[in-house]
Amino acid sequence: MLLKILQTISLLAVLVVLFILKEAGFFHKINPHFDGSEIVIESAAGVEDIVTDLENADVYFSSHDRRNFETTGMLFKASVMDENLDLNPILPKELPFPFRPHGISLFKTEDGNKYLFVVNHEDDLNSIIRFRVFDDSLVFEKRFVHEQIKFPNDVQAIGLNSFYITNDHTIPNGLRRFLGDFLLEKSGNVVFFQDGDASVVSQNIAYPNGINISPDKKYLYVAATTENKLYVYSHTQDFGPRKILDQKYLWTAPDNIEIDKFGDLWIGCHPKLLKYLGHAKDISKNSPSEVIKVVYQPGTKHKFLQEEVYMNDGNPISGSSVASYFITDTSNTLLIGSVFEEKVVKLHRNL
């Protein structure tokens, strides 16, 4: 009897290990490819998020040296049309708080004013910062602080005083959180803020990361990194729970979500999470980078179309976290940023 119990426990342990390895991409084959040309552009460390203004080709970059947390981060601006992608710093010289940016979101008002919302990791708390965007600079306008801003990763602006955030965890750093990530503990959530109030509108998500909204404002997209999933919710302006409309298993660990002019999703991914963890601790260790394009077609039989646009083995860029795509009638540009690297990759697809 004891032998059977031990055999059962051993079998369960093996199955758990295999499940963890599968979800972490251990069995994911890496076949580097891209149909087009690419150039590597030096940058500040950790251009983790990129947002492109699809109307005028301006690009905004969030940068922080995450291996040296105490350092101050930076926001940059460039133009997709600039072949060399000259990244110009636009952060105000003095801010009344520590500045370490993470996810960013660009919001435009009906009268044409533009605002950049930024997830900010301060010393003892986290916040969302709103900047007014001018031609070559930002002006600090407002700092949002709330008890529901626990461990924010990304932000999606809806209005001047309304936005979503993803809390990739709701429990503090420690052994439980570390083990929970491997066991897909669903401790993350999505929070909606409006006019000073906040409400958890979706919870029980394992590492919710990137968040974005469809151009028609019907659908809210959330990337669940350790679940390898993309969730689609209905968007409303109230504080009630958001209805899950669809979900897609991506076979890779998604990070930030950007949306092109057609409403299609471009996602920077980590196909090998264990290698990514190694890369996070040791700059000399490479981590494969991947970009996927997802087309959401809710009115069709096949609701999701997924295409692997780019894959590398960690060279020339490791730990891809974001992919932003800009296309015109005569050209196209794909920008890839990463969590730690001092570079951005600029690519042109052969269409």
Phi first, then psi: give them for residue 100, nearest 5 degrees. -140, 90
214, 259 contact by CB (below 8 A): yes
**Rounded alpha-carbon distances, angstroms, from residue 269 to 2, 37, 96, 230, 263:** 45, 20, 34, 12, 19
Q: What is the rounded end-to-end Cα distance, in angstroms, of the chain?
A: 64
Question: What is the DSSP annotation of 27-89?
Answer: T-----B-SEEEEEEE-SS-EEEEEE-TTT-EEEEEE--TTSTTS--EEEEEETT-TT---EE
C-alpha 62/C-alpha 45 separation (Å) is 10
Tokens of 131: 């900047």
Question: What is the DSSP annotation of 228-277?
Answer: TEEEEEE--SSSSPPPEEEEEE-SSEEEEEEE-TTS-EEEEEES-HHHHH
Phi first, then psi: give them for residue 292, nearest 5 degrees. -120, 150
279, 287 contact by CB (below 8 A): yes
Q: Known catalytic residue: 102?
A: yes
Q: Which letter does DSSP use for residue 110 in this model?
A: T
C-alpha 169/C-alpha 242 separation (Å) is 19
191, 167 contact by CB (below 8 A): yes
Phi first, then psi: give them for residue 9, nearest 5 degrees. -65, -40
Residue of 64, 102, 235, 270 marked catalytic: 102
Give catalytic residues, as residue numbers. Answer: 102
